[in-house]
Amino acid sequence: MAEGDQLSWYIIPTVIAVSVLILSIFLEYFARKNPAIKKLAEVLKTGAFLSPTVISITIGFLFVISAWQNYLFAPGLALDGSILAQILRYSQAVIGIGLILGLLIRYLTLGIIALFIAGFFVFPALDMFDYLIFIGVGIFSFLIHHDVLSSTFVFHPVEKKEFFDRYRKYALPTLRVMAGFGLAYAAFYHNIFKPENAVAFLDQKPLLNFMQNVFEINSFTNSHFIFITGVFGILIGIILAFGLLERFFSAIIGIGLLIMVLILGINFLPLAIPYFAVIYSVITGNQFEEREVVEKG
């Protein structure tokens, strides 16, 4: 196979991804004005009131299981026996239990952000950026949740100044942006910047490269497969972050993650769980109205 033909496996998918991004920008404009989509949004947003509960309970169980398995957030951040690592482990367990029970939510959401920041002292910075979604989860829950115990003490003066009423409109966009950029970063780092582990995994499971096995395109190597999935992972992450056709692409992300869980097994589930919770919030969220409020505000 000529070098130019090999190169085309990198160039063509990149051009397609950029074209999809540009097309999404135009389609977003028409989607805002489409009556059918607006009616669908009215139906979907009836489930928005459950978003804070879905996120807190989902992340709570994830934290408890992660602490039990001795890792921070996901198996990729395995904790050692150092004092700081064990502090993170038990702090994560306490935060998880509190999120499940719905107690002192605003304090605990600040704890989520603190866990993420503390992780930089235990793990390489490039590994921690895979979990940007937890910054979004922390800020979203901090602005959205309202529990009596949290409001009675530290946050009561802040509530009197209508801080949460003023900034609550940024909760969903922040969650979406952090999830999107986290997804785009993970796709870039693991599939393009350092693809060795992904390629090695695919070498062990050659049937996953359906371009070879189904379409019998032998020139399409495992490296090409990993690169292309990385390009489209970046694309989907950017589209989600910028809120372009977010319900449609959130559904695509959900389906893709479900397929990956089925293929990669239960070890991938901790990585997928927070995204499933975010997907629910985005699909049931009030995107058009939120965006209009942000633009006017």
- Rounded to an integer, the average pLDDT of 105-113 is 90
3-state secondary structure of 103: coil
DSSP state letters, 48-61 = GGGHHHHHHHHHHH
Among 105-109, 133-137, 196-200, name the most confident range: 133-137
pLDDT tens-digit profile of 211-257? 777 777 777 888 888 999 999 999 999 999 998 888 889 999 999 99
Residue tagged 């922390």 (tokens) = 138
77: left (phi over 0), alpha (psi -120 to 50) or beta: beta
Instruction: Give the pLDDT of residue 241.
Output: 94
Which region among 32-36, 126-130, 248-252, 286-290 has the lowest average model confidence (pLDDT)?
286-290
Q: Name beta bridge partners: 78.
A: 71
- Say how far apart CA 41 and CA 151 lie, in whole Å: 32
Encoded amino acid at 262, one letter: L
Residues 6+ apart with CB under 8 A from 249: 24, 236, 239, 240
214 CB-contact burial (10 Å; exposed 0-12 / middle 13-18 / buried 19+)? exposed
The separation between the first and the last C-alpha atoms of the chain, rounded to the nearest angstrom, is: 57
Burial 176-201 (b: 16+ CB within 10 A, else e): bbbbbbbbbbbbbbbbbeebeebbee
Instruction: Give the pLDDT of residue 38.
Output: 79
- Say how far apart CA 70 and CA 91 lie, in whole Å: 12
pLDDT tens-digit profile of 34-73? 788 778 878 888 888 888 889 999 999 999 999 999 999 9
pLDDT tens-digit profile of 253-275? 999 999 888 888 888 888 899 99
- Rounded to an integer, the average pLDDT of 15-19 is 89
Q: CB of 85 within 8 A of CB of 122? A: yes
Instruction: Give the pLDDT of residue 139.
Output: 93
Q: CB of 151 within 8 A of CB of 191? A: no
Instruction: Give percent of the chain above pLDDT 90.
Output: 46
3-state secondary structure of 166: helix
Going by pLDDT thresholds of 50, 70 and 90, the confidence category of residue 119 is very high
Residue tagged 């009197």 (tokens) = 160
Residue tagged 């097994």 (tokens) = 265
Whether pLDDT at 297 is above 60: no
Instruction: Give the pLDDT of residue 154.
Output: 55
Instruction: Give the pLDDT of residue 179.
Output: 95
Instruction: Give percent of the chain above pLDDT 70.
Output: 87
Structure tokens at 25: 């920008």
Q: CB of 21 within 8 A of CB of 238? A: yes
Instruction: Give the pLDDT of residue 51.
Output: 87
- For residue 289, give the nearest of 7, 27, 28, 42 by alpha carbon: 42
Going by pLDDT thresholds of 50, 70 and 90, the confidence category of residue 124 is very high
Instruction: Give the pLDDT of residue 167.
Output: 81
- Say how far apart CA 154 and CA 104 lie, in whole Å: 11
Instruction: Give the pLDDT of residue 147.
Output: 58
Going by pLDDT thresholds of 50, 70 and 90, the confidence category of residue 31 is confident
Residues 6+ apart with CB under 8 A from 246: 176, 239, 240, 282, 287
Going by pLDDT thresholds of 50, 70 and 90, the confidence category of residue 174 is very high
Instruction: Give the pLDDT of residue 130.
Output: 93
Instruction: Give the pLDDT of residue 1.
Output: 47
Instruction: Give the pLDDT of residue 288.
Output: 43
